[in-house]
Structure 1
């Protein structure tokens, strides 16, 4: 026994000695440098995915990589400086970590609050600069020292650009103030306007800050002194130079510039500047007689322009593309120079090596082997590739396209040397890359009658347990007890994720998101045009379908009811009609069947989407999100009390007595009233038109920060409607209704 204990102690002693040996220290630092480089690649690949993908791996993986990368760089550099072991690759590895700190992946913030933490980034920069400078001073190879100092100063600029990008998104509001002042009198510049040809629409795309001066006669608001030096939407539409000439590419490039101009107008709302154009008929005509003019393809052009606009908004707050845009072609110059420095250091590393001083009693020099050199070259090549890819991604992005279009307007003719640079820009702008993925193009779905029966709790083992509160609405031919267990087993994985997101408690099981269809887009825009921008809580649709009197007699809207009350009541009624046996047409291949199917799809998808917003994104709806959640929890309890142990929810809801004043009872009564409409296609048209108007009614809000934050979480359809309505001059609801 004593011999066995001695062997164990000996093994542990040798293991501890091996882990603390100089060679093990070098290997550990080398591994950390490789991990930091891999994190940069991960952020480059998946960083932009979170604006169109809600998958937990993308959202949490980007957060983990973003948070870990900066801490890892600081820790690794500190380990190099404080370690008793030295290796001649330490200066190269330290310089390799420096570009990572400067956001080689272009991401500057994970959330809006990160932009306000630029002082923390400055402190990190000072700390890491000191580490790197001390390590570089140990180099005795003159050629390596010169190359290292060049890269050192190059990467200083990269880190500085990240800090300035955060400041641009959080404090530098001068351009937005200039646009706000300019839009005060924009409608006076041209008396005649045409929203199709963009004549008279002088929305700014690019302008010179020096041409905006305070004017005492206009209340000390800035006025554009020389319009000739500015680039407006009208000028871009009139330009026929280069890619702005005839052709399909011209229309796409002009629409990108229009999205950029609209993005600058929308950005003012986040800062809080006055939007003077909202009360102008010119603004309303821009949307109703311009963007929404063509109906083919579900108003695809209008939604594409809004999608690109919101992508600009995302890039402005979460990346350094906006700073690169103001930097101009210098961003590409810095990227190329940094790449050349990295390549030069790689060559020096192989040929002459960056030797450090001799060893002493306190410092141990660890010899460099072939594996160290190979890994170092891989790291340097990876960083050089990252720099080039980032530059290409920027000039192939919409930011580069806007800069190119402004060049066409400002300089129709160029010298031969400048033409080469422009052709490079034109070549890069033709790459589609990932710009087609602006958001997920999906609608979240939630059905109260399918999700009310389950409650969730977290046990001591950290696992989510599903507790059936009543019988499952599904039927797979098994006995009720097995049926409930099977339903819980099938939903276990989804429920666990929803619990940790705060959406798996008290019946908050969101269904699978559905694809945003052309029918839904068309129904929403048709409702907007039908009401001519006068938003109501669905009463216009009831009048247009001649059912207002029947519905109003069946149900009176109570004075204390809010938009959330209306959504939940109509959601319950729509779910009731969806369960009704008479909800389907026997032959959906006929014209009447297709008509019914389209309206049923629109009604059910928008109904479940509005309920999904109540459950998962209440901050995007009118009212306080806590009040919304409290109201929803009360409705879940009502549903459990009424439908507890029910095998057939439809029959119980159909046989309910006079309403008790609860939301669930009122929703069931409204569902029965809708079911009494004998014309089934008309019944679903009433509900489809109502939900199209309802989603428009709740879209205008002042929750700008919440909408921008959701852009980094996959985006929401209501945000696109919010932006579209703003550009039509609609920033608040219409007159309040007194009948539901």
Structure 2
């Protein structure tokens, strides 16, 4: 680093204008000191990384992502960084002031006439970062989420007030106070918006109090429907007629509230049948069934698909509202009658819907799309960093047009007050007192870039100015993109759809109909909800991080098999109870029954490991006939791929996905989390013992698998109770190989087994598992979470697991008396 007396580092080639040299000298004087130069350099580097991170999150991640949810890991890192940002930058701001005082020789008075350039730059960073703070702050809507509101709001209020103190008590020049005052007003406005949204969400019948209304609505509605139609009539209605009769609330339930009673709300159910009353799923399906396409009504037309998506989206929204009761403290849990009705609605209504728009050839697509959209609603409601849950025409007008107009008026008053009421002086001082504006931002940038590689001072000044540019561009882009996300969100589509259903004038408007179709089509193109990704992992391969694992879309055949298994349970739960895979071995071919001994365990983790090892060894022993890439899209029918390879893909994909859950998300499995971890760690030790340290860490896949399968001969005659889970998997693989040699359709068996096992682990086991699924939503969701939501709302459960006998205290003290 050059000495502070060396003026050659400030010599710039910028034409005849030497004022830029003075500006750079003032800006980078801290870099040439003898004590704090490394601190200043480190600060600029950290700020550059932070600014680049915000810029990347607001630009490059938006190319294929229109979600309002931030990745939890990134959110945690940014939250930690921002919690330390204000105190650190406040210290550096103070040091920059002191450095300027010393260099100006103004120690006697202890202050300077105005803030130095370096201090103003740091203050700019602080204000811009405060504007971007909302990027990592969730929208707190419900009463259960308000516990963290006070701490969050208090911290933000403290930051905004401190920044206001730095702006209005340190800046003397009118133009500088006006510019920095505008930035501070924007910070304060964002804070006020956040507080207002939180308070309105908490007290709103449509948000904070919505679950309590539904707790009263569902039993009253089902009781009234049972008295009106009768149970036999309800069971006879299927398909589109069943969906049109659905009275699950989509929007407007607050209109039914008459009063609050000792056991919940007293509701006026007559509002459901009014023209401008409550909007239900049935009303939407009936109304959209009347709509005809503008050009044609062929099954593959854009209008037909748009209507089908909107109809399914309404069901997703209604189910999302009902599922919220699992995550919030409510006075009553869903009743058995409700889960039975929901199961009847989904499996006898949605999955058997007929008609052009329903796309009846692919009912599994409709089912998974509905549940996937439901989880997206749930994820954005609890983890969104943008106010998408308030999206409506009214909210768009107020939040993105009226509020900016009010803020603009406040900023204008701030500029005028900065010049003591002299409007012409205030406007003129903005350019005069801010050097970057007076000389021109473009001219300053060109000069710095031209000299960045040849002059150290220009290089450091370029870094500092670039940080400000990145932060400012990230803020502008975030504001524009927030509006786009809200406008294209499913929430706004639902608001338009409900207003369309409730208002006759909207139904007669071709503009509204076209807007609904186009918004639905654009959103579907930007985020295809048909793709349900499953991460792939094999316990026989060495891997540390889940982020490095590949993810494949769930194939259509797997969706179809899962749907059929769930429908079989819904039709007769006693005849087809869920099992850990053993029931799949007893269907059709009786020669598979000996393999059921590998499912005789109360530990789901042990069954997963045993069959996963066997499936992996089988996949290596008998390579596929066709490349798997032909169905990698996950949304095609798989035409051109033999049935053998399709079932093989289902088996291997679900096997690797279950292994991934076992290794990286044991909290999502039915077993106790600690017991699952212990089982997995024990398997790794056994595998390392079987392969040796060198083979466990470094051998290629084929050599690992060959080593294991070659040891199968030594396991014959050994009791199952004496074998480790690795040995059980190898022995099972050996028996499967023998079946293949006997020309048995082994991949059909394995595909059915893994479908059965995946469905088995779907239902929730306890409140701890429900909490784990809620946290998994913020990370993008999992297939098992989707199955959990579906089975929870339809009342599909696992049979009780045999528990260990527990002795009482008396039995322990007096065993002879027992």
Return the TM-score normalized by structure 2.
Answer: 0.67
Q: Cα gap change, 1:384/1:450 in structure 2, threshold over 3 Å: closer, same or farther?
A: closer
Superposition pairs of residues 536-555 of structure 1, within 5 angstroms: 536-547=579-590, 550-551=593-594
Partner of 2:58: 44
Partner of 2:770: 704
- Indicate yes or no: 2:513 matched with 1:513: no
Superposition pairs of residues 77-156 of structure 1, within 5 angstroms: 84=97, 85-86=114-115, 99-103=131-135, 108=139, 116-134=147-165, 135-136=167-168, 140=174, 151=186, 154-156=189-191
Tell me which of 206, 223, 230 is aligned to 2:267: 223
Tell me which of 341, 351, 367 is aligned to 1:282: 341
CA distance in 2, matches of 1:427, 1:594: 38
Q: Cα gap change, 1:214/1:348 in structure 2, threshold over 3 Å: closer, same or farther?
A: closer
CA distance in 2, matches of 1:706, 1:371: 57
The answer to whether the 8 Å contact 1:596/1:680 transfers is no
Query: Greater CA deviation, 269-278 or 690-699?
Result: 269-278
- The one-character-per-residue Cα deviations of 1:479-519 (angstroms, maximum 9, x if unpaired) are xxxxxxxxxxxxxxxx5xx26x7x9xxxxxx8533332222
Partner of 2:563: 525
Q: Cα gap change, 1:628/1:419 in structure 2, threshold over 3 Å: closer, same or farther?
A: same
CA distance in 2, matches of 1:267, 1:8: 64
The answer to whether the 8 Å contact 2:4/2:32 transfers is no
- Indicate yes or no: 2:324 matched with 1:292: no
CA distance in 2, matches of 1:440, 1:20: 57
Partner of 2:534: 443
- Indicate yes or no: 2:628 matched with 1:628: no
The answer to whether the 8 Å contact 1:306/1:723 transfers is yes
Find the structure with the greater CA-based Rg: 2
The answer to whether the 8 Å contact 1:542/1:686 transfers is yes
Tell me which of 561, 565, 578 is aligned to 2:606: 565
Superposition pairs of residues 7-26 of structure 1, within 5 angstroms: none
The answer to whether the 8 Å contact 1:96/1:380 transfers is yes
Q: Cα gap change, 1:252/1:515 in structure 2, threshold over 3 Å: closer, same or farther?
A: closer
Q: Cα gap change, 1:415/1:592 in structure 2, threshold over 3 Å: closer, same or farther?
A: closer
Q: Which stretches in structure 2 are left out of the alignment for 5+ residues?
A: 10-24, 98-113, 298-302, 353-358, 417-422, 443-464, 631-638, 696-703, 804-818
Superposition pairs of residues 306-321 of structure 1, within 5 angstroms: 306-319=371-384
The answer to whether the 8 Å contact 1:74/1:124 transfers is no
- The one-character-per-residue Cα deviations of 1:337-366 (angstroms, maximum 9, x if unpaired) are 455578786997999667899xxxxxxx98
Aligned residue pair count: 657
Partner of 1:734: 799
- Indicate yes or no: 2:235 matched with 1:188: no
Q: Which stretches in structure 1 are left out of the alignment for 5+ residues?
A: 358-364, 452-494, 504-509
1:312 shift after superposition = 0.9
Superposition pairs of residues 168-179 of structure 1, within 5 angstroms: 173-179=208-214
The answer to whether the 8 Å contact 2:578/2:760 transfers is yes
SS at match of 2:534: strand
The answer to whether the 8 Å contact 2:501/2:507 transfers is no
- The one-character-per-residue Cα deviations of 1:632-669 (angstroms, maximum 9, x if unpaired) are 11122223334446763212124423232432333333
The answer to whether the 8 Å contact 1:50/1:713 transfers is no
SS at match of 2:115: strand
- Indicate yes or no: 2:319 matched with 1:262: yes
SS at match of 2:642: helix
- Indicate yes or no: 2:486 matched with 1:394: yes
Q: Cα gap change, 1:253/1:368 in structure 2, threshold over 3 Å: closer, same or farther?
A: same
Return the TM-score normalized by structure 1.
Answer: 0.73
Q: Cα gap change, 1:286/1:41 in structure 2, threshold over 3 Å: closer, same or farther?
A: farther
CA distance in 1, matches of 2:518, 2:596: 65
- Indicate yes or no: 2:449 matched with 1:406: no
CA distance in 2, matches of 1:425, 1:75: 49
CA distance in 1, matches of 2:434, 2:31: 14
SS at match of 1:622: coil
- Indicate yes or no: 2:655 matched with 1:607: yes
SS at match of 2:566: helix
1:34 shift after superposition = 8.8
1:707 shift after superposition = 1.6
CA distance in 1, matches of 2:641, 2:525: 38
The answer to whether the 8 Å contact 1:259/1:306 transfers is yes
CA distance in 1, matches of 2:598, 2:181: 82
Partner of 2:790: 724
- The one-character-per-residue Cα deviations of 1:108-160 (angstroms, maximum 9, x if unpaired) are 49xx9997532222112322332344425767479879977975663343332
Partner of 2:419: none
Partner of 2:707: 648
The answer to whether the 8 Å contact 2:534/2:554 transfers is yes
- The one-character-per-residue Cα deviations of 1:30-88 (angstroms, maximum 9, x if unpaired) are 999998776554443467799999xxx97755543454356546765786689645279
Q: Cα gap change, 1:146/1:18 in structure 2, threshold over 3 Å: closer, same or farther?
A: closer
SS at match of 2:313: helix
CA distance in 1, matches of 2:583, 2:365: 25
Query: Greater CA deviation, 666-675 or 230-239?
Result: 666-675
Query: Greater CA deviation, 67-76 or 596-605?
Result: 67-76
Q: Cα gap change, 1:341/1:173 in structure 2, threshold over 3 Å: closer, same or farther?
A: closer
SS at match of 1:443: strand
Partner of 1:68: 81
Q: Cα gap change, 1:584/1:415 in structure 2, threshold over 3 Å: closer, same or farther?
A: closer
CA distance in 2, matches of 1:338, 1:371: 33
CA distance in 1, matches of 2:530, 2:90: 38
- The one-character-per-residue Cα deviations of 1:688-730 (angstroms, maximum 9, x if unpaired) are 1111010000111142222222223232111122222223222
Q: Cα gap change, 1:259/1:676 in structure 2, threshold over 3 Å: closer, same or farther?
A: same
SS at match of 1:299: helix
The answer to whether the 8 Å contact 1:299/1:521 transfers is yes
CA distance in 2, matches of 1:707, 1:600: 29
Partner of 1:484: none
SS at match of 2:540: helix
CA distance in 2, matches of 1:153, 1:587: 58
1:403 shift after superposition = 0.7
CA distance in 2, matches of 1:29, 1:356: 31
CA distance in 1, matches of 2:86, 2:201: 20
Q: Cα gap change, 1:668/1:255 in structure 2, threshold over 3 Å: closer, same or farther?
A: same
1:313 shift after superposition = 1.1
SS at match of 1:205: strand
Q: Cα gap change, 1:682/1:736 in structure 2, threshold over 3 Å: closer, same or farther?
A: farther
Query: Greater CA deviation, 602-611 or 333-342?
Result: 333-342
- The one-character-per-residue Cα deviations of 1:564-611 (angstroms, maximum 9, x if unpaired) are 122122223323433445x7679999x999232222221122112111
CA distance in 1, matches of 2:53, 2:203: 25
CA distance in 1, matches of 2:512, 2:50: 34
Q: Cα gap change, 1:593/1:61 in structure 2, threshold over 3 Å: closer, same or farther?
A: closer
Tell me which of 325, 329, 350 is aligned to 2:394: 329
- The one-character-per-residue Cα deviations of 1:237-261 (angstroms, maximum 9, x if unpaired) are 1224998988322222222222111
CA distance in 1, matches of 2:758, 2:150: 41
The answer to whether the 8 Å contact 1:183/1:277 transfers is no
